[in-house]
Structure 1
Amino acid sequence: MTDLLTPLIVVVGVLGLLIGSFLNVVVYRLPLRESIVSPGSRCPKCGHPVRWWDNLPVVSWLLLRGRCRDCQASISLRYPAVELLTGALFAATAWWAFSTDAVDGVAVLPFLVAVLYLAAISVALGLIDLDTHTLPNRIVGPAYIVAGALLATTSLMSGDIGALVRAAIGAAILFLAYLVMALARPGGMGLGDVKLAGVLGLYLGWLGWGSLAVGGFAAFLLGGLYSIALLALRKANRKSGIPFGPWMLGGAWVGIFAGQPVWDAYLSWVGLAG
């Protein structure tokens, strides 16, 4: 597997670029309640359909110098940036999935699909929340079924049923914690955040209590730092609301990639390590 790891990561990274191109469509159309399947991509200014060779991730944008072939309208840098972000996240996720000791053997395959699925919806949800301050049910709702099925398959194939129990408990803990915060301070935490918390709790709980603790805490740390930066730059005040979904997702990825080592280090520091 070691000899195949590098080319596998490259393949997954290229897949991420392609998925990123599709996510650009999702991020733009879903909040408008438009179909993400048809019609095909068109220039928003001249309406001309985008040719397939002009729709290659990153490469086409560079060759076109960021402009529509037909009307020369500017194409936002955000499009290749989303593709590159998704490709990099996919590659990093694949490397981590095959390097971690959380899963081994053939069970790593459904586990890899599970975390790549989370990577894809993380990009989509994070950008949509930044744009519209919403976390669409059309993404969050199915995530419970898809993530639950993939993680359950991983548990059954690896014989680790305890991880599946932790996943259910983790989902319940984060869901209820965010629900309490939403009810305690109406308008401060949206129900979209509550629903997303349950999905993230599935993943973090499945990986372990340390991942759940660190991932849950990291969301508030990242969101707090962002809020402080906005206040310092005078781009917000104490009453300004910020989309919290991106920081929940960012915190979850901190918990996924580094949660257990960070938790173990913390326990060792406070003298509670076994």
Structure 2
Amino acid sequence: MEICIAVCAALACTGLALVYLYMGKKCKLSGREWLIAAAACAAAAFAVFRLEQKGTDVTGMVKILWVLTLMLAAGWVDAREKIVPNQLILLGLAGRCLIYIAELLSDPSGFGMLVLRDLAGTGITLAALLLIVFISRSAMGFGDVKLLGVVSLFCGLSWTYSCFLYGLIAAALASVYLLAVKKAGRKYQIAFAPYLLAGYLITAVL
């Protein structure tokens, strides 16, 4: 458990650092935002604990935690700025390249099939999400599409589907609540990345 807490503390610090690099002096938090950040870190700690219980291997854990770091940063920035920065997407791709190198060194014979599977899954994910963007008339942003593409490249098609589904449910519930308390109109567009983060954490826990 101590290892889980240490990993998640480092993860939270990394996420905060990424956000700070992007937002600069605009990164000051209100009291409520600090509570939300603390809750997200606690949820991340529990997710890591569950992953350990499920016997996730080291490589799988590194992949999941790296994406979780990006999701924390993307969710925070999107909630405040309504944008998923390309810097985070590029950072995710750079991290995946480094992990690919490690996977190549550990299993050269299966590396080609691994890359093909990842690229095929990511291609399917991006195609499906772009279709959703077109049908929904941009109700979902391209930043969210790219973010889920990174999730697919790291974690696979099934994980991405679950992340998107749970995130969609969370966003729908939040929208209903905002409409009920009259804090948003029918045409109000919520930031989706925070709900994708929620979906990602739920997928990790279940």
| TM-score of the pair, normalised by structure 2 | 0.78
In structure 1, what is the equivalent of residue 168 of structure 2?
220
In structure 2, C-alpha distance between the alignment counterparts of 1:79 and 1:228, rounded to whole Å? 21
TM superposition shift of 1:135: 0.4
In structure 2, what is the equivalent of residue 244 of structure 1?
192
In structure 2, C-alpha distance between the alignment counterparts of 1:253 and 1:155, rounded to whole Å? 28
In structure 1, what is the equivalent of residue 90 of structure 2?
141
1:113 to 44, 55, 62: 62
1:92 to 46, 49, 73: 46
TM superposition shift of 1:230: 1.0
2:81 to 121, 124, 132: 132
TM superposition shift of 1:242: 1.1
In structure 2, what is the equivalent of residue 173 of structure 1?
124
Structure with the greater relative contact order (CA < 8 A, sep ≥ 6): 1 or 2?
2
Distance 1:115 1:154, change over 3 A: farther
For 1:234, what is the secondary structure of its paired residue?
Answer: coil
Q: In terms of Rg, which structure is larger? A: 1
Question: Could you say which structure has the higher helix fraction?
Answer: 2
In structure 2, what is the equivalent of residue 198 of structure 1?
149
For 1:219, what is the secondary structure of its paired residue?
Answer: helix
Q: Percent identity?
A: 23
In structure 1, C-alpha distance between the alignment counterparts of 2:16 and 2:10, rounded to whole Å? 10
In structure 2, what is the equivalent of residue 7 of structure 1?
2
TM superposition shift of 1:17: 5.1
For 1:241, what is the secondary structure of its paired residue?
Answer: coil
For 1:189, what is the secondary structure of its paired residue?
Answer: coil
In structure 2, C-alpha distance between the alignment counterparts of 1:155 and 1:89, rounded to whole Å? 32
TM superposition shift of 1:185: 3.7
Distance 1:182 1:196, change over 3 A: same
Runs (4 or more) in structure 1 with deviation over 6 Å come to none
Q: Which amino acid aligns with 2:167?
A: A
Moved more, 115-124 or 227-236: 115-124
The answer to whether the Cα contact below 8 Å between 1:143 and 1:199 also exists between their aligned partners in 2 is yes
- Alignment of 1:101 with 2:49, yes or no, is no
Structure 1 unaligned segments of length 5 or more: list them: 1-5, 33-40, 45-74, 259-274
Which deviations, in whole Å up to 9, do the C-alpha atoms of 1:19-47 show, x marking residues without a partner? 355356246329x7xxxxxxxx9xx8xxx
In structure 2, C-alpha distance between the alignment counterparts of 1:151 and 1:96, rounded to whole Å? 25
